[in-house]
A = this chain, B = another copy of it.
Amino acid sequence: MTTKQKILNEAMTLFAERGYSAVCVGEIAEAVGIKAPSLYKHFKSKQDIFNAILDEMRSNYDKQAAALNINGNKAEGDAPVFALVSEDVLVQMGIELFRFFLHDDYASKFRKMLTIEQFHNSELSMLYSKQYVDDPLVYQSTIFAYISASGGFINADPNIMALHFYAPIYMMLTMCDRQPEREKEALQLIEEHIKQFRAVYSKDGQT
């Protein structure tokens, strides 16, 4: 890994723990294993490091989303997969969504960083909403529209179904970001949540 990349990684780690303004360039340098002035051979300012982290995420976002089929606009292509496999597919989908978002080192740190910095300006506000609210809802919505059309669910607005499915997962995710020790509890709640979600939305009632 290049020094430039190391700087981005260590900076994001620190920003995710304490926020941009609480971290000084000397700490980033120390984490990388160099002295502060050397940073300025790679980035022209502290703000430039932060911007580079954002740029990196933006260019990786579609790739990441595609990797797990979580966000993005490939949902229509994915829906048949979900609709045709075992009936616990929803539970699997939710748990995997949760686990990936929570444990992926890069995704997790970036989300915490963005959580801390989300109020700093409207660009960051929009980015947060897009990545952790709007895109997942659009994706889930497409899936539920497909499943509904296939006749597996009662007739209901797929957007609201997506909200019902995703919001509890989102809340448990942000909870585990601040309290990782509650992951087990969160996973169990998510599993029960999805089972009940299936029960109330499926045509044949409870399972």
Interface residues of A, Cβ cutoff 8 Å to B: 16-22, 112, 115-116, 118-120, 122, 125-126, 128-129, 133, 154, 156-157, 159-161, 163-164, 167-168, 170-171, 175, 177-179, 182, 189, 192-193, 196-197, 199-201
Closest partner residue, chain B, to A133 (CB atom): B175
Q: How far does the alpha carbon of A193 sit from the alpha carbon of B166 in the complex, in Å?
A: 12
Q: How far is the CB of A121 from chain B (nearest CB, A)?
A: 10
Question: Can you tell how many copies of this chain the complex includes?
Answer: 2
Selected contact of A201 from candidates B112, B156, B171, B200, CB within 8 Å = B200
Q: How far does the alpha carbon of A175 sit from the alpha carbon of B168 in the complex, in Å?
A: 15
Q: How far is the CB of A153 from chain B (nearest CB, A)?
A: 10
A175 to B129, Cβ gap below 8 A? yes
Residues of B within 8 A of A18 (CB): 21, 119-120
Residues of B within 8 A of A120 (CB): 18
Name 8 extra pairs, CB < 8 A, besides A20-B22, A156-B200, A167-B171.
Answer: A18-B21, A116-B119, A125-B178, A156-B199, A160-B189, A160-B193, A167-B170, A170-B171
Q: How far does the alpha carbon of A115 sit from the alpha carbon of B117 in the complex, in Å?
A: 10
B179 to A168, Cβ gap below 8 A? no
**Can you report 10 residue pairs joining A to B where beta carbons are below 8 Å apart?**
A18-B119, A19-B22, A21-B21, A125-B178, A128-B178, A157-B196, A160-B193, A163-B189, A170-B171, A171-B171
